[in-house]
């Protein structure tokens, strides 16, 4: 796995579909050159968090560091867009290493799928009927039945995204935890989720999958009509995000916990 380069000479640029992102990429390529992603010391992603996740996923096996420049809407995973002194910024950047979740889902028709998620794996009801789920942690049954709109397992990197909007906890990077967060719980009413060690394996069994169909998404990759879902952290894969020293991902997660 590659770490933050001391002074990158080969910088590849990728952009989202937004016109302003493409315009920025053209300018930066004229200024710093055109390099193929596979030959780069670092990849600069011009867009929003969606592009950052897409780029990290594409380079999950080779571990090429990604430095994001915000040309999107939210940009929690991105740095401020500036055109000057880009190699020096990258050389001074702080690296955050994250590991994805590996999700194995079984459909009611018997098909099995595997996807990886950087932010979260979420199960959601497909119709007006609430989902009925059974939850196991490391093969031990922890909830015989939960009736809800859905439930998710979030990484620290993803804890400030969908997880936070569902009132889940914010997790600092390196804390060694995963967030198990329910979405609109009907029963049991007082259950608000759990914090799990990062090596835990979570299994969801869908009760009444024909009457109450459930879909599962690993970030944006969706599988519908599932009967069982297993989730665990994949320590064999590592991804490196680069951040300006004064706006590291650790600092952003900490600041989010004190947001007014």
Q: In 3D, which of 230, 202, 215 has the Cα closest to residue 122?
A: 215
Top-tier CATH class for 101-233: mainly beta
pLDDT at 96 over 80: yes
Residue identified by tokens 């989720």 is 193
Q: In 3D, which of 97, 132, 149, 133 has the Cα closest to residue 118?
A: 97
Q: In 3D, which of 16, 18, 57, 10 has the Cα closest to residue 38?
A: 10
Q: In 3D, which of 85, 97, 108 has the Cα closest to residue 216?
A: 108
225 is in an annotated binding site: no
Q: Give dist(CA 213, CA 115) in Å, integer.
A: 20
Three-state DSSP class for residue 86: helix
Q: Is 244 a catalytic residue?
A: no
| Domain ranges (residues) in the chain | 11-98+237-256, 101-233
163 is in an annotated binding site: yes
What pLDDT score was predicted for residue 3? Answer: 47
Asked whether 105 and 121 are in contact (CB, 8 A), the reply is: no
pLDDT at 225 over 50: yes
114 is in an annotated binding site: no
55 is in an annotated binding site: no
Q: Where are the alpha helices (H) located in 124-248, listed in sequence order?
A: 162-165
pLDDT at 2 over 60: no
Residue identified by tokens 């060694």 is 176
Position 220 confidence tier, pLDDT thresholds 50, 70, 90: confident
260 is in an annotated binding site: no
Residue identified by tokens 């000057």 is 84
The active-site residue, picked from 36, 49, 138, 210, is: 49
Model pTM score: 0.82
What mean pLDDT is predicted for residues 243-251?
Answer: 82
Residue identified by tokens 């894969």 is 237
Q: Which residues pair with 150 in a beta bridge?
A: 124, 183
Read off the pLDDT of residues 42-91 as tens digits, 9 standing for 90 and up.
999 999 988 998 999 899 888 899 999 999 877 788 999 999 899 999 99
149 is in an annotated binding site: yes
Q: Give dist(CA 158, CA 181) in Å, integer.
A: 12
Read off the pLDDT of residues 15-31 as tens digits, 9 standing for 90 and up.
999 999 999 999 999 99
Cα distance from N-terminal residue to C-terminal residue, the chain: 38
Q: Please check whether the domain covering 11-98+237-256 is classified as CATH 3.40.50.880.
A: no
């Amino acid at each position: 796995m590659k770490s933050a380069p001391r002074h990158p000479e080969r910088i590849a640029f990728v952009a989202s579909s937004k016109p302003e992102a493409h315009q920025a990429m053209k300018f930066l390529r004229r200024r710093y050159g055109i390099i193929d992603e596979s030959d780069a010391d670092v990849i600069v992603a011009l867009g929003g968090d969606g592009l950052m996740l897409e780029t990290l996923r594409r380079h999950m096996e080779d571990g090429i560091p990604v430095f994001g420049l915000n040309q999107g809407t939210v940009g929690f995973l991105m740095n401020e867009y500036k055109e000057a002194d880009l190699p020096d910024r990258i050389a001074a950047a702080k690296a955050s290493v994250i590991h994805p979740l590996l999700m194995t889902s079984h459909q009611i028709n018997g098909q099995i799928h595997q996807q990886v998620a950087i932010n979260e794996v979420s199960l959601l009801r497909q119709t007006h009927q609430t989902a009925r789920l059974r939850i196991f942690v490391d093969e031990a049954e922890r909830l015989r039945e939960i009736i809800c709109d859905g439930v998710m397992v979030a990484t620290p990197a993803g804890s400030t995204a969908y997880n936070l909007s569902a009132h889940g906890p914010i997790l600092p990077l390196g804390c060694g935890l995963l967030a198990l967060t329910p979405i609109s719980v009907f029963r049991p009413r007082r259950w608000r989720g759990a914090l799990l060690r990062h090596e835990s394996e979570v299994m969801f069994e869908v009760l009444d999958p024909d009457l109450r169909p459930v879909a599962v998404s690993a970030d944006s990759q969706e599988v519908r009509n599932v009967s069982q879902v297993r989730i665990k952290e994949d320590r064999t894969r590592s991804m490196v995000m680069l951040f300006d020293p004064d706006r590291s991902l650790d600092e952003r997660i900490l600041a989010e916990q004190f947001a007014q």
